[in-house]
Amino acid sequence: MRVKSVELYHLKLPLVHFFETSFGRVAHQETLIVRLITDKAEGYGEVPASAGPHYSYETVRTASYIIKDFLAPLVFKATDLDIGRILTGFKTIRGHNMAKAGLEMALWDLQARLTRKSLAQIYGGIKKSIPAGISLGIEDSVNALLIRIKASLKQGYRRIKVKIKPGWDIKVVGAIRKSFPEIELWADANGAYELDDWPLLRRLDRFRLTLLEQPLRYDDIIDHGKLQTKIKTPICLDESIKSFSDARQAIELGACKIINIKQARVGGFSEAKRIHDYCLSKNVPVWCGGLLESGIGRLHNIALAGLPGFVLTPDISESKRFYKEDIIEPPVVLERDGTIAVPDETGLSNRVIIARIKKYAVQTIAL
Ligand code: OSB
Ligand code: MG
């Protein structure tokens, strides 16, 4: 069995509401859909890289270039679908984790279709449903954010994560705690602070956050270790953990107590699973993060979050939290009890609406 063709769709999806982090505000999400075709089945993956090199250095265009010139040729060369062997080939390309992850997702989805298994079975998930958490961006006013939190809780979301940055931190988190004394609350700085800001970050301790995500630089480990000795709130790393090796070093150095696992950031499911297994053995809680994925990446995340080490509520919301119209049907929905069902259908392709992918595509490449 050979992969006959690889199709790459660069999508521009309008967001129902802008999303603002410490590195900026977006009104659209750009993402890359990877479609693999064989004689017998199709597989879908997603590279949620966005338009600019802000969260990471990758963009939809760099990922599309790396897949076209370097990764797809390794997939075409494989005469059998030995995914392990293909991934060994990927290791000869340094970095570009999101590009690798999108292609790896599509390979596992293809495998699911060919072996008539669900993605959850392929990934080793054990949960029938997962709790849903929502990540809320920076707003124009504290009141606007409080209104969104109230609406999210009413919908059933089990925990709230808010984005913070210098000037939008103590006052905001304090106001949230005052209005919602008992909710599970997290904060994510996306690398906006420096170690010298520790007295300010220590003031967050009184608000009983479950975790403070990526307070310092996107590539730092050591200063996070120093910061953790000065604050009580558990530090969770996101951007800093790009591989199993980063995870091991961060844990050994005490740089974090929790890890956010995103398959896109760490270079795919296999690396995500290695980090998951290691953290489980070290009693380090992990959770599944998100990057505004369309339905395709979202379903991969849901399957991944079903693994046993994912003990904290993931950043996985229903499709309509970000998109009026998703590219899968039915879309991902939030149950009234604040959970999302883990699908048992064989792979994703029965749910993908190709006409919608084409509708939102700004560029298509067929290899
Ligand atoms: O840091 O987790 C992050 C979105 C874009 C870039 C970075 C992050 C995020 C999110 C969104 O928090 C989470 C989601 O997809 O629900
Ligand atoms: Mg984050």
In tens, the pLDDT along 30-40 reads: 999 999 999 99
In tens, the pLDDT along 239-265 reads: 999 999 999 999 999 999 999 999 999
In tens, the pLDDT along 272-285 reads: 999 999 999 999 99
In a domain, 209, yes or no: yes
Does ligand 1 lie within 6 Å of residue 289's CB atom?
yes
Does ligand 1 lie within 6 Å of residue 20's CB atom?
no
Helix axes 170-179, 142-155, angle to 10 degrees: 40
In a domain, 346, yes or no: no
Q: How many domains does the chain fold into?
A: 2
Say which CATH number the domain at 284 has: 3.20.20.120
Same domain assignment for residues 31 and 99: yes
Q: How far is the CA of 80 from the centre of ligand 1 (A)?
A: 36
Does ligand 1 lie within 6 Å of residue 315's CB atom?
yes
| CA dihedral for 290, 295, 301, 302, sign (positive or negative) | positive
Q: How far is the CA of 55 from the centre of ligand 2 (A)?
A: 9
Phi then psi for 197, rounded to 5 degrees?
A: -80, 5
Residue 226 falls in the annotated catalytic set: no
CB 285 within 8 A of CB 273: no
Q: C-alpha angle with apex 328: 327 to 329, nearest 5 degrees?
A: 130
Which domain does 326 fall in, by range? 122-341
Same domain assignment for residues 138 and 60: no
Same domain assignment for residues 167 and 291: yes
In a domain, 348, yes or no: no
Same domain assignment for residues 138 and 272: yes
What pLDDT is stored for residue 327 in this prediction? 98
What pLDDT is stored for residue 128 in this prediction? 97
pTM over 0.95: yes
Same domain assignment for residues 153 and 220: yes
Same domain assignment for residues 107 and 133: no
Amino acid letter for position 289 = G
In a domain, 347, yes or no: no
In a domain, 170, yes or no: yes
In a domain, 214, yes or no: yes
Same domain assignment for residues 104 and 161: no
Instruction: Please check the confidence at residue 67 and state whether its pLDDT lies above 90.
Output: yes
Say which CATH number the domain at 23 has: 3.30.390.10
Same domain assignment for residues 233 and 98: no
Same domain assignment for residues 184 and 55: no
Same domain assignment for residues 32 and 68: yes
Residue 163 falls in the annotated catalytic set: yes
What pLDDT is stored for residue 86 in this prediction? 97
Question: Exactly one of 100, 165, 242, 262 is catalytic; which is it?
Answer: 262
Question: Exactly one of 163, 165, 242, 273 is catalytic; which is it?
Answer: 163
Q: How far is the CA of 220 from the centre of ligand 2 (A)?
A: 14
What is the arrangement of strands in the sheet containing 258-261, beginning at the earlier edge strand? 133-136, 159-163, 185-188, 212-213, 235-237, 258-261, 286-288
In tens, the pLDDT along 298-337 reads: 999 999 999 999 999 999 999 999 999 999 999 999 999 9
Same domain assignment for residues 133 and 85: no
Q: How far is the CA of 213 from the centre of ligand 2 (A)?
A: 6
| Mean pLDDT calculated for residue range 111-136 | 97
In tens, the pLDDT along 69-114 reads: 999 999 999 988 999 999 999 999 999 999 999 999 999 999 999 9
Does ligand 1 lie within 6 Å of residue 297's CB atom?
no
What pLDDT is stored for residue 277 in this prediction? 98
d(CA 38, CA 171): 55
Tokens of 167: 């000037």
Same domain assignment for residues 207 and 110: no
In tens, the pLDDT along 163-221 reads: 999 999 999 999 999 999 999 999 999 999 999 999 999 999 999 999 999 999 999 99
What pLDDT is stored for residue 111 in this prediction? 97
In a domain, 349, yes or no: no
**CA-to-CA separations, 298 to 51, 192, 277, 294, in angstroms, rounded:** 18, 26, 22, 6
CB 63 within 8 A of CB 230: no
Atom of ligand 1 nearest to the CA of 292: 15
Tokens of 3: 């992969």
Atom of ligand 1 nearest to the CA of 161: 12
What pLDDT is stored for residue 1 in this prediction? 83
